[in-house]
């Protein structure tokens, strides 16, 4: 072994020992070491890594869509209508307007990630705020906030999203708002349950005696302990968010034509499902694969962030 290899091996071993130490010298070292140990746990789960690889591929697909898409996703060629799989220049066939299905799927990944990212940013924050305030305040505040949460939970998510979109108007932005308004209640429930177990802790009483107000206690000492449970729930909910967005697009209430949204593509292709099955099947497979990837990653994240539930 060369001196360079020996030096590299020692450096890697040193970093590993520094990250895995049970006596970190700083908060930064403890936080980085916790992330590293979580990554090692996740890496040992082959199904979670499979889901993660699919999602990384989807992100790269969305970023480099102009370079990877073989054709303009909006370009119509009526002379190439409903071409089957494997046609020259159309690997996944074409739709009823002669548009390349593969190109539209690639650009549709951008819309899917856009919806997922915004809903994952809005809904957990709203749910975290409502749940922690209800759990910490208790009394009539808890009663009012939880009854509002129960009202939202009483309706099927897609039906409630349809009602909001009907009120707000069709469009991808309004669809995101509608899905976010229907997605926050489960996060509020989780945050409230976590807060109820934390607010009686001794260190919360000590912080309160030091003069910390309710806002500081909630944001600095309760929120960080709720984050891991919310991350697991968000990851597992992504499949439902994708299906809700696709359902709104299928009904013409989400992304509007000629946008290459996967649900709208299925809606367009349903007229040809018997004779030209690929028009609707290809975007359907895309939704299935991405939803499966989020579920697999969510199971792996649960093992990492909430190991007490992994064995149930």
* Inside any domain, residue 287: yes
Domain range holding 258? Answer: 45-63+92-195+225-310
For the entire predicted model, the pTM comes to: 0.84
Mean pLDDT of the chain: 85
Of the pLDDT bands very low, low, confident and very high (cuts 50, 70, 90), residue 253 is confident
With respect to residue 152, please indicate whether it lies within any of the assigned structural domains: yes
Q: Round to whole Å and give the CA distance between 141 and 126.
A: 16
Residue 165 belongs to some domain of the structure: yes
Q: What percent of the chain has pLDDT over 90?
A: 39
CATH number at 50 reads 1.10.3720.10
Residue 7 lies in a domain: no
Distance CA 185, CA 13 (A): 45
- How do residues 295-307 score in pLDDT, each as one tens digit? 999 888 888 876 5
Q: For the ranges 108-117, 122-131, 157-166, which has the lowest average pLDDT?
A: 157-166
Q: Token pair of 249, please? A: 């697009």
Give whole-number Cα distances, 194 to 126, 171, 175, 187, in Å.
15, 36, 30, 11
pLDDT at 78: 87
Return the pLDDT at 216.
Answer: 86
- The answer to whether 45 touches 303, Cβ cutoff 8 Å, is yes
In this prediction, residue 166 carries a pLDDT of 84
What integer pLDDT is reported at residue 18 of this predicted model? 62
Q: Is residue 218 part of a domain?
A: no
- What are 182-229's pLDDT values in tens digits? 999 999 999 999 898 888 888 888 888 888 888 888 888 888 888 888
How far apart (Å, rounded) are the C-alpha atoms in residues 234 and 228? 10
CB 153: neighbour CB atoms within 10 A? 16
pLDDT band of residue 231 (cuts 50, 70, 90) is: confident
pLDDT at residue 5 tops 50: no
Q: Are 149 and 130 in contact (CB under 8 A)?
A: yes
User: Is a pLDDT exceeding 50 seen at residue 6?
Assistant: no
The count of domains in the chain is 1
Domain-located, residue 34: no
Give residue 305's pLDDT.
76
82: left (phi over 0), alpha (psi -120 to 50) or beta: left
Residue 247: inside a domain: yes
């Amino acid at each position: 072994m060369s001196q360079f290899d020996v030096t590299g091996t020692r450096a890697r071993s040193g970093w590993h020992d520094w990250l895995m130490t049970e006596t970190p010298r700083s908060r930064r070292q403890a936080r980085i070491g916790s992330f590293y140990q979580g990554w090692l746990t996740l890496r040992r789960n082959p199904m979670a890594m499979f889901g993660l690889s699919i999602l990384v591929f989807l992100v790269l697909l969305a970023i480099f869509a102009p370079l990877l898409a073989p054709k303009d996703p909006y370009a119509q060629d009526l002379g190439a209508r409903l071409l089957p799989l494997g046609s020259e220049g159309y690997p996944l066939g074409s739709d009823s307007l002669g548009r390349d299905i593969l190109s539209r799927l690639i650009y549709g990944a951008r819309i899917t990630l856009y919806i997922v990212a915004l809903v994952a940013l809005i809904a957990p924050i709203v749910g975290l705020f409502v749940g922690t305030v209800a759990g910490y305040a208790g009394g009539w505040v808890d009663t009012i906030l939880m009854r509002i949460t129960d009202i939202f939970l009483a309706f099927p998510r897609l039906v409630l999203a349809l009602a909001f979109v009907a009120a707000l108007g069709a469009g991808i932005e309004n669809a995101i708002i509608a899905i976010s308004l229907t997605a926050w209640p489960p996060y509020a429930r989780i945050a409230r349950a976590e807060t109820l177990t934390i607010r009686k802790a001794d260190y919360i009483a000590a912080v309160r005696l030091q003069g910390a107000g309710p806002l500081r206690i909630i944001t600095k000492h309760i929120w960080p302990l709720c984050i891991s449970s919310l991350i697991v729930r968000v990851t597992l909910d992504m499949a439902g968010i994708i299906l809700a967005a696709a359902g709104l697009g299928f009904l013409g209430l989400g992304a509007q034509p000629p946008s290459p949204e996967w649900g709208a593509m299925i809606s367009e292709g349903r007229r040809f499902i018997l004779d030209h099955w690929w028009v609707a099947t290809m975007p359907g497979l895309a939704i299935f694969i991405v939803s499966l990837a989020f579920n697999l990653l969510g199971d792996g994240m649960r093992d990492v962030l909430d190991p007490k539930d992994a064995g149930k």
